[in-house]
Structure 1
Amino acid sequence: MIRLSLAAALLACTIPGATHAQTADASGERVGTEYMVFEAETNEPAKSHFLRGLALLHNFEYRRAAKAFREAQAADPEYVMAYWGEAMTHNHPLWEEQDRDAARAILARLAPTREARAVKARNALESAWLDALETLYSDQGTKEERDLAYLAKMRAMLADYPDDIDVRAFTGLAVLGSSHGGRQVPIYMAAAGILEPGFMTHERHPGILHYLIHSYDDPVHAPLGERMAERYATVAPDAGHAQHMVSHIFHALADWEASEAANIKADAVVDRQRIAAGRAPSDCGHYNEWLVYALLQQGKDASDRVAACRAVAESGEPAYGPVRSYSVMAAWQAVDTGKWPEPIDEEARAFLLPRLTLTHVEALRRREDPDAVAAALAEMRRDAAAVPDLLARMAPDDRSTMPWVERAIAQVEAVRLLAEGDAQGGLAALRAAAEAESALPTVFGPPAMPKPSWELLGEELLALGRRDEAAEAFRNSLRFAPGRRLSMQGLKAATGT
């Protein structure tokens, strides 16, 4: 099968049968610059920096992209698109993040008003790009309203420039960015419909490949994304996000070997860049989290990686990123292997969302002790009450976190009933919790809950000898988390096959 051979190929950055040589840009890195066909109306030094920035922007390598765009500005201070590119690095549509103030400050460096900036455009296409950007970062309307207005501008651009591959790529991304509050499959399929013609004409364009992988990033559509995963890692071997991104498809296909290989490569790319910048390698972070999950699903020992991240989380002054990573890794390892996390430093535990995760896991660990579960539930409720204020301050456009916090509390409420001996009430509450989880937008990657409620329900039913009901629960779990090892084991135990 292609995916089995691909796992090894990813580590070598080659694909069997690939005919395209990987070419480094002027920086010495391979991030997909060679596949940029944007007609930049500027001098050669500015063009070189701009095209590198554009490739990095398509790869979501935002900090490095911003640096390249600033270098383009230095080479041509009047080049509108260099400012457009840097401003675009502050819009992260798939993460529901946008820093409008930072983007508008960049535009102000080009000229103080929208009208003054508009006259600097050197052709009609630049004028259209700038107009769309001004709409995205307008001082009018909510983020969601501006996202939709920006999408309308991009659709109009695509109608005027149907053969421009970057217009097509960013229009597809704008469609994805209109799916507020989580993944809405019809919207994601609409994005795929815009991006697929671009794949037919530019099959190695990093933006087209990247955004199609996002479009197909769910268990039902992931087979369509294999074509993009086969190419993307080789298009941008020095972009850590590109190396990781292919694992979204492998994860949805439950190909844990290929997912492991992809995230090992992503982590290696990031570590190499950190070392070059005089920083220590990273033992935490998104790529390490997915690597730990892939290892656990293969029954491999992930203890060393979890411990390494914990050491970072507890070293010096704790930072949110490492503490969050450790809480996620430790939670997955705990429910999959029974290696429950020991208490962490109080300073590290001060972060609200990681604390909620660790308290949730503690409730599962002590699930036979009604007093312990009740105490954990009370702590989770107290912390959950503070989450909306935290999000309002730190991530005001986030609409995905709180629903899953509520789901975690609902699961522990069911566990409390079971611990108190109320089997009927506990199972009913657990089933309701599982159904409510299923009703939320599909989560790409590992489950949002350390222990999916369908899996927990299956285990409870199996312990009671209700094998048929348990099998149904495990099948439901696998529908949302394909290839999950404990659900597969539970289904086998329930069915005897």
Structure 2
Amino acid sequence: MTRLSLAAALLAFAVPGALHAQNADTAGERVGTEFMVFDTEASEAAEAQFLRGLALLHNFEYSRAAAAFRSAQEADPDFAMAYWGEAMTYNHPLWEEQDREAARGILARLAPTAADRAAKAANAREAAWLDAIETLYAEEGTKEERDLAYLAKMRAMLERWPDDIDVRAFTGLAVLGSSHGGRQVPIYMEAAGILELGFMTHEQHPGILHYLIHSYDDPVHAPLGERMAERYATVAPDAGHAQHMISHIFHALADWEASEAANIKADAVVDRQRIAAGRAPADCGHYNEWLVYALLQQGKDASERVAACRAAADTDEPSYGPVRSYSVMAAWQAVDAGEWPEPLGEEARAFLLPRLTLTHVEALRGRDDPQAVEAALAEMRADAEAVPGLLARMAPDDRTTMPWVERAIAQVEALALLAAGDKKDGLAALRAAAEAESALPTVFGPPAMPKPSWELLGEELLASGRKAEAADAFRKSLAFAPGRLLSLKGLEAATSGT
């Protein structure tokens, strides 16, 4: 696994950010290429591959996009935008990732210096694209500083070429990418305003649709994203990420049946591509995780899918991706269905963040046993101390994971007080943990922890006969995590007979 792909996987403790693009192509694939209107000055063969790569780039199918851009370079070695496109595949703004050195290596293949590369531009617009990417991957500055400088370049391009749909799409994405450390609603709404103007004229452009879905995939704004969800899956039926992305809106709307269907389709696309590449179908991964969560929220049995991922994770030589994916699925199945996982083998337990997730589940399982909770808490605290160092090595731009690790520990600290019989301080600590969770930026997709603290607080209050307070906690849980089955059941129990 590369540094960049491992960095993506690390983030999944806190946010569902690691999406795995495929390397195989399907004959006659439909990824939105026909909606690309990018003006190029290249050979016909190079242009065809460039436009395909551009559509895949807008779909976040990064590996396939890079391959298409390299094919464009082979067809026309002097086509500057083909190198721009491949370099752009190493910037993942919504996942807090960027591999600057890999991107600069690609640009160096075009020409050794920025001035030499600028001379390769066929026109003023190509020169502006190249100038922007030089800023994005500049040698100086932090990633945040470079993101903001790149955004300034894109704003200038949009002002100069307001009718260029790709300038508009990438400007909107750059605005989203300036929201460091999670969703800042004003920034996301600014991006939506830029992108909506593009939707009015290019309602089937994959980038416009994709980035608007990201702009709106929170419970408050999700109704605005239904228009994009209606179109995106049909625009790019052979892009697994596009099939999955519409479930961001369905999830925020708590439409679990639609989310289930979308992720089944996404998984099927991935499996077809894996089989075409001579690989086995995937039982783990982002789309399977969201599928499991959607099944559980409908009260459906997800055990077969969880077991299949466990088989891929618990091997003699486990790899990080399946272990992380299984830990997420197993945590949800444990909390939502009461099917508690058996411990993984020693090799699989060596991965830090998945181990933290499963230790958290052990604390929830033994929440009435003081010794069990204290043992889990001690292990979580010890592991948490190692997380900053791990992120510094593997995901240095991540500002999202550690706050949620801290929230998980705070929840278990409250459980320890409750298990020890200190009801007053335990409930106060649990309420403080819930309020702190709500104060963090909204996470798209399933909750960042196995069990939201508002739901846990509601259950504790309900068990103490404090039904009105419990109802309030469950309502807050549902605002935080719409449509959660256990919170809905808790609210029903808390309001029955009142």
Q: Same fold (TM over 0.5)?
A: yes
Contact 1:331 1:358 in 2 (8 A): yes
Q: Deviations over 1:264-303 (max 9, x none)?
A: 0000000000000000000000000000000000000000
Q: Deviations over 1:21-79 (max 9, x none)?
A: xxxx9951000000000111101000000000000000000000000000000000000
| Aligned-partner Cα distance in 1 for 2:216–2:26 | 33
| Aligned-partner Cα distance in 1 for 2:318–2:400 | 25
- Structure 2 equivalent of residue 409 of structure 1: 409
- Structure 2 equivalent of residue 227 of structure 1: 227
**TM-fit CA distance, 1:492:** 0.5
| Aligned-partner Cα distance in 1 for 2:106–2:236 | 27
- Structure 2 equivalent of residue 183 of structure 1: 183
Paired residues for 1:146-185 under 5 Å: 146-185=146-185
| Aligned-partner Cα distance in 2 for 1:164–1:429 | 52
Contact 2:369 2:419 in 1 (8 A): yes
- Structure 1 equivalent of residue 256 of structure 2: 256
1:474 maps to a residue whose letter is F
Paired residues for 1:338-349 under 5 Å: 338-349=338-349
Contact 1:356 1:380 in 2 (8 A): yes
- Structure 1 equivalent of residue 383 of structure 2: 383
Contact 1:411 1:430 in 2 (8 A): yes
Structure 2: gaps (5+ residues): 1-24
- Structure 2 equivalent of residue 201 of structure 1: 201
2:28 maps to a residue whose letter is G
| Aligned-partner Cα distance in 2 for 1:39–1:317 | 48
Is structure 2 residue 71 aligned with structure 1 residue 71?
Answer: yes
Contact 2:217 2:252 in 1 (8 A): yes
| Aligned-partner Cα distance in 1 for 2:118–2:396 | 30
Is structure 2 residue 47 aligned with structure 1 residue 47?
Answer: yes
- Structure 2 equivalent of residue 475 of structure 1: 475
| Aligned-partner Cα distance in 1 for 2:215–2:117 | 34
Is structure 2 residue 137 aligned with structure 1 residue 130?
Answer: no
| Aligned-partner Cα distance in 2 for 1:286–1:27 | 25
Contact 1:135 1:149 in 2 (8 A): yes
| Aligned-partner Cα distance in 2 for 1:260–1:315 | 28
- Structure 2 equivalent of residue 337 of structure 1: 337
The two structures, once aligned, show a CA RMSD in angstroms of: 0.9
- Structure 1 equivalent of residue 286 of structure 2: 286
- Structure 2 equivalent of residue 240 of structure 1: 240
Percent identical across equivalent pairs? Answer: 84
TM-score normalized with structure 2 length: 0.94
1:174 maps to a residue whose letter is A
Q: Report how many aligned residue pairs link the two structures.
A: 473
Q: Deviations over 1:92-133 (max 9, x none)?
A: 000000000000000000000001101000000000000000
| Aligned-partner Cα distance in 2 for 1:403–1:197 | 35
**TM-fit CA distance, 1:337:** 1.1
SS of residue matched to 2:156: helix
| Aligned-partner Cα distance in 2 for 1:455–1:26 | 44
1:422 maps to a residue whose letter is D
**TM-fit CA distance, 1:326:** 0.3
Contact 1:323 1:354 in 2 (8 A): yes
| Runs of 4+ with deviation above 4 angstroms | none
Contact 1:31 1:238 in 2 (8 A): yes
| Aligned-partner Cα distance in 2 for 1:125–1:248 | 34
2:327 maps to a residue whose letter is S
Structure possessing the higher relative contact order (Cα contacts under 8 Å, 6 or more residues apart): 2
| Aligned-partner Cα distance in 2 for 1:157–1:437 | 38
1:298 maps to a residue whose letter is Q
- Structure 1 equivalent of residue 10 of structure 2: none
TM-score normalized with structure 1 length: 0.95
**TM-fit CA distance, 1:314:** 1.3
- Structure 2 equivalent of residue 11 of structure 1: none
| Aligned-partner Cα distance in 2 for 1:113–1:128 | 16
- Structure 2 equivalent of residue 218 of structure 1: 218
SS of residue matched to 1:402: helix
| Aligned-partner Cα distance in 2 for 1:67–1:469 | 56
| Aligned-partner Cα distance in 2 for 1:107–1:433 | 47
- Structure 2 equivalent of residue 435 of structure 1: 435
| Aligned-partner Cα distance in 2 for 1:432–1:321 | 33
| Aligned-partner Cα distance in 2 for 1:315–1:87 | 36
2:153 maps to a residue whose letter is K
**TM-fit CA distance, 1:451:** 0.4
| Aligned-partner Cα distance in 2 for 1:358–1:182 | 24
| Aligned-partner Cα distance in 2 for 1:27–1:183 | 38
| Aligned-partner Cα distance in 2 for 1:487–1:111 | 58
- Structure 2 equivalent of residue 355 of structure 1: 355
**TM-fit CA distance, 1:315:** 2.6
| Aligned-partner Cα distance in 2 for 1:110–1:41 | 16
- Structure 2 equivalent of residue 121 of structure 1: 121
SS of residue matched to 2:317: coil
Paired residues for 1:308-327 under 5 Å: 308-327=308-327
1:57 maps to a residue whose letter is L
**TM-fit CA distance, 1:157:** 0.1
| Aligned-partner Cα distance in 1 for 2:480–2:208 | 26
SS of residue matched to 1:127: helix
SS of residue matched to 1:346: coil
| Aligned-partner Cα distance in 1 for 2:51–2:205 | 12
Structure 1: gaps (5+ residues): 1-24
| Aligned-partner Cα distance in 1 for 2:197–2:108 | 36
| Aligned-partner Cα distance in 2 for 1:489–1:29 | 44
2:269 maps to a residue whose letter is V
| Aligned-partner Cα distance in 2 for 1:315–1:276 | 25
- Structure 1 equivalent of residue 60 of structure 2: 60
Contact 1:26 1:48 in 2 (8 A): no
| Aligned-partner Cα distance in 2 for 1:337–1:243 | 27
